Chain A
């Protein structure tokens, strides 16, 4: 315990410099902005800014990108509450009661509780991360390639389980992400795979181009197609600090949301979106009068907002401790660490403690920045909602292009970005979730490496996965989960449900 406090103090010492604080502040600011403005999700924003962080020290880079992620969770509630349009996906449920409260003249209380609930849950998640991650890392150091391989397989299976749409389509997206990741030169054999004589493909497909295309360009195409109207903010803001009655109604949902969100964020494939929906469903289920939900219950704001922030914090645990991202955003954060020359995983805390603890400390600081940005400055964010789409989107297109180019300084990446953008727009129309594709794209090289190492280690081929207890347990759990997914789909068939 004392060692953890000392290490955390070291992390604070590393980040409490004007330069790092500046980048955390900028990340919090951009994150809130991204959350406030509908149409640009945290993933698109992170991918756009990823190339810009290459020149920064690793702690500053990751601290800034993390701040964008949880900042967007804070900011997303503002648009949900005031204009009934979710700023990002995790704030969809906040629209239900948050906007109803705004229509009743209680927008201030809803916004205040959303920010305070987010702060409490976010800090709760970081405290657990502080003590849990080192223990998990020290356990993970003892794992070998077969266990890692099994763990990543479990992560991908959980992703199929947690996606909101069809599991079969999720499976196709994982296969597609894996296939794209194998393009280029095989680093073990030196063979070229699926390059078709194209020199640009020999180094493989650039992650930034894939992510900006899938989440930035496809989002722009979808929004342009709908001809999104401007938003009218008519609500007057007053009394941002919740009343005693609001606190009395909200403390329990915040605690439940924090716990639930933390647990969901830990599960691969889970994340803030799932956490907020589950929290809302839980609050509604245990309420004495569930029919009053959707009509302005503050519990419907406090619980989900707490849950999505707790999920963001706990999502950092598998990334920092195991080197395995649980969702598309942490996959991108992992890409950022690798670009900055840092390999996330159990050895991170041993080999680069200043980076590990610096990132943890930056999460505490970022949450404080966000509370400051979201309570007193909420009026400023409301003004931003008046920026017309017609001005916003052309600018994002150019930002996407420059961001993609600057990652590798390669025009070919712009074509990749456009291709993935059109593909993403089309696939989303047909109910395909894109996050599993990105997750598989990032995990595939690691999975392939551990699979190969396992096979080389084993005299009996794939039997090594059943011969080692931890790997065997993980593989059996993965198999059981797959059977569960298949049965869930079959059970839903007569009702016309999904598989």
Chain B
């Protein structure tokens, strides 16, 4: 995966440069002491230097890391599972202000369950979702008294 590694290193370099530009705009300081931009500038330098270092190592010196081999989507249906998980989470975050955590969980968790265990029966997925959402609600809202967004059902 050297191409991806190189691409990300380029991104770090550009990100570091952009951050440095914005840090300079914030000001590095004056007689009163360091300004708001000094510390972010140091962070930007670290990021950009790291990006350049990885680029030099991978492109100029031709050294690739031997300690790991990044692999995407090795297992069958992996991309689908990861994509669905992220989508369901996005849906749940959007639903929380309107439906509350308990109801969003009761709807979202069976979908997550089916994403991970597609051969399980639908009724079991629903049961897992409702029980899990109930336990989490009980733990945070009832036992710990955390004020959570409520849905149309009042919880």
Residues of A within 8 A of B (CB): 51-52, 55, 164-166, 168-169, 171-172, 174-176, 178-179, 182, 186, 188-189, 191, 193-194, 217, 220-221, 224-227, 388-391, 393-395, 397-399, 401-403, 405-406, 409, 411, 414-415, 418, 422, 425, 429-431, 444, 447-448, 451-452, 455-456, 489, 493, 496-499
Contacts and interface: CB of A to CB of B under 8 A. Distances in A.
B73 interface: yes
Nearest to B29: A455
Contacts of B54: 166, 168-169, 172
Given A51-B146, A178-B42, A444-B39, A422 B113 contact: no
B-side interface size class: 35 or more
B153 interface: no
A401 B101 contact: yes
A390 B113 contact: yes
Contact of A225 (B40, B82, B113): B82
Nearest to B128: A391
B46 A394 contact: no
A496 B1 CA distance: 15
A306 B70 CA distance: 32
A390 B110 CA distance: 10
B47 interface: yes
Contacts of A390: 113, 116-117, 120, 128
20 contacts: A172-B54, A175-B43, A178-B40, A191-B36, A221-B82, A224-B81, A224-B115, A227-B76, A227-B77, A390-B116, A390-B117, A398-B133, A401-B92, A405-B96, A405-B101, A411-B93, A411-B149, A430-B5, A455-B34, A456-B34
B46 A496 contact: no
B108 to A, nearest CB: 8
Contacts of B53: 168, 171, 499
Given A175-B43, A398-B105, A493-B63, A189 B50 contact: no
Interface in B57-78: 57, 61, 63-68, 70-78
B82 A418 contact: no
Given A414-B96, A431-B68, 14 more contacts: A168-B54, A178-B43, A188-B33, A225-B78, A225-B81, A390-B128, A394-B108, A395-B136, A405-B148, A429-B70, A444-B39, A451-B34, A455-B33, A498-B67
A198 B68 CA distance: 38
B34 A406 contact: no
Contacts of A429: 70-72
Given A55-B145, A398-B109, A226 B75 contact: yes
Nearest to A393: B116
A211 B27 CA distance: 30
Per CB-CB distance, the 7 closest pairs between chain A and chain B, nearest first, are A175-B46, A172-B50, A390-B117, A175-B47, A178-B43, A394-B112, A168-B53
A409 B96 CA distance: 12
Q: Among A191, A225, A431, A489, find the residue whose CB has the most chain B CB atoms closer than 10 A.
A: A225
Contacts of B128: 390-391, 394
A493 B59 CA distance: 13
Contacts of A456: 33-34
Given A52-B144, A430-B70, A499-B53, A418 B46 contact: no
Contact of A176 (B47, B66, B76, B116): B47
A390 B81 CA distance: 12
A411 B149 CA distance: 10
Interface of B: 1, 4-5, 8, 12, 16, 19, 22, 26, 29, 33-40, 42-47, 49-51, 53-54, 57, 61, 63-68, 70-78, 81-82, 85-86, 89-90, 92-93, 96-97, 101, 105, 108-110, 112-113, 115-117, 120, 128-129, 132-133, 135-136, 140, 144-149
B144 A179 contact: no
Contact of A397 (B50, B109, B117): B109
Contact of B39 (A220, A394, A397, A448): A448
A394 B89 contact: no
A225 B1 contact: no
B136 A394 contact: no
B65 A402 contact: no
B13 to A, nearest CB: 10
Given A172-B51, A431-B68, A455-B33, A401 B93 contact: yes
B82 A193 contact: no
Contact of A402 (B61, B97, B112, B148): B148
A390 B132 CA distance: 12
